[in-house]
Amino acid sequence: MTENQQHNEQLADDLKRTPDAGAFVAALLDKIDRLGNVPNVFSLPAAAFNKPEDIRWFFGPKFVAVGPTKVTLKLKELLQQQPGIVDTLYAVTRRIRRNLRGERTDLASRLSAVIDEFAGVACTVFRDWLAAESQNAAAGRGELFSLARTEGFPVVKNYLTALSRGLSFLASDSRPVRLSRFGLEVAGDTKCCRPGTQLLNSFARIIYRFDASVKAEVDLSEPANESEKLRMALEQTRLQLDGSASRILVFGNLVFEKGGERFDYVRRHAALGEPVVLTWAQLYNSSVVAVPAKVLCIENETTFFEYAERADPAIELILCTMGQANRLLVSFLSQLQRMAAEIWHWGDLDRSGVLILDSLRRRTGLEIRPMRMDVKTFRDHAARGRALPAAEKQLIVSLLQRRPDIICADLLNEIASQNLWLEQENIGV
């Protein structure tokens, strides 16, 4: 064993026997790695050490000052006496010296070149997200920077390709698309965008952040957690998260034309007292030629069927939203408004019911009026009301502060003051 090797082994033993000296050296090397160079002076709080004198003993009293608040190593002076001390410390601690600042700069430069390859994608949401990630990468942070550092550039390119394909595909058409089909468009894999997958969640996060209309819609409902927020964002797209996204229940004298043919089976079924299910495929590229003067949207399925049993199909067309209206219903109402004299909505007497109506009005641009969603109806049936959770009351207060002019604001105030809410089914038809 050489004299140098013996010296290094002794230093390694000294660091093991003096934990405070070992911690000080580790912190010093961390800083050198971060800076990419050696500082003239290095200090740490004295309170971080049990025996700061051990640090003074390790480096020598000439080079270490132990004060009441900090321990300081005069590194410039130490290097003048021992020029190779920094390399020695890396060796005895079995570390490889790095220049993290330089590595970040190099990584950011290479990542910028990769990002530039996707700058020509036409999709606005993708371009806006990419611009934000480009700024983050230049500062050594962000999703793509982290991915490049941990997984490498081939993974980054595959990820960007999938995102650009998927977001462009969603923006290219209004027709509903199944998640399996979406996965094929994104990466040639029917399973890659199943609910809960990392890739589908990435689409949801990007759409939420960079599509202003989606963000506004989701934020109004104040989702309880990240998972709910992502689901709500995806529901604003043409993705079919479940079968209800592309169908609606209908009852009434509706007739439409498509491909030169007239379809009146909705009316014929209504004459027998039977609602029917209409799908996107049936209504796509169709034109409504006959509809009653009144159109009523009903939020809940139970109430829809009960109401249809008593309704006159010649007077009103009844549609079931089954909760938040899907894109098919929004599109269908926009077409019906050319012929219908009035459009109404009847939902639960609670915050969610009002938000569904408000969303329907904003997404269609129509003056859809509330039916039986008023203070009098609420008071008349308050005995059947359910206790309003404290958290839900706070959400109502928050909503009214942000949207004091929201439709049914007086009903929301009444719900909050009475600490009750009413399900539509409890009102009866």
Domain borders along the chain are 3-98, 101-240, 244-426
> How far apart (Å, rounded) are the C-alpha atoms in residues 299 and 320?
6
CB proximity list for 407: less than 8 A, separation 6 or greater: 354, 357, 358, 361, 370
Confidence (pLDDT) at 244: 62
Q: Is it the case that residue 1 has pLDDT exceeding 70?
A: no
Reported confidence tier of residue 243, pLDDT bands at 50, 70, 90: low
User: Which DSSP helix (H) or strand (E) runs through 320?
Assistant: strand 316-320
| Average pLDDT for 204-211 | 97
Confidence (pLDDT) at 247: 86
Q: How many CB atoms lie within 10 A of CB 233?
A: 23
Q: What is the mean pLDDT of the chain?
A: 92
User: Which DSSP helix (H) or strand (E) runs through 297?
Assistant: strand 294-298
Q: Which amino acid is at 250?
A: V
Confidence (pLDDT) at 245: 65
Per-residue pLDDT of 39-89, as tens digits, reads: 999 999 999 999 999 999 999 999 999 999 999 999 999 999 999 999 999
State what percent of residues in the chain have pLDDT above 70: 99
Confidence (pLDDT) at 429: 76
- C-beta of residue 354 within 8 angstroms of C-beta of residue 392: no
| Average pLDDT for 300-324 | 92
| Average pLDDT for 92-117 | 91
Reported confidence tier of residue 97, pLDDT bands at 50, 70, 90: very high
312 — phi, psi (to 5°)? Answer: -95, 110
194: left (phi over 0), alpha (psi -120 to 50) or beta: beta
The token duo for 379 is 């008071």
Reported confidence tier of residue 240, pLDDT bands at 50, 70, 90: confident
Sheet containing strand 70-74, strands side by side: 41-45, 70-74, 64-66
Confidence (pLDDT) at 343: 96
CA-based nearest residue to 321, from 368, 382, 288, 385: 368
pTM for the predicted model, two decimal places: 0.72
Confidence (pLDDT) at 421: 95
| Average pLDDT for 320-340 | 86
Confidence (pLDDT) at 176: 85
Confidence (pLDDT) at 314: 96
Q: Which region among 8-12, 154-158, 278-282, 398-402 has the lowest average model confidence (pLDDT)?
A: 8-12
> How far apart (Å, rounded) are the C-alpha atoms in residues 79 and 63?
10
Reported confidence tier of residue 205, pLDDT bands at 50, 70, 90: very high
Confidence (pLDDT) at 246: 76
Q: Is it the case that residue 11 has pLDDT exceeding 90?
A: no
Q: Is it the case that residue 369 has pLDDT exceeding 90?
A: yes
Q: Is it the case that residue 174 has pLDDT exceeding 90?
A: no
| Average pLDDT for 250-262 | 95
Structural domain 244-426, CATH architecture: 3-Layer(aba) Sandwich (3.40)
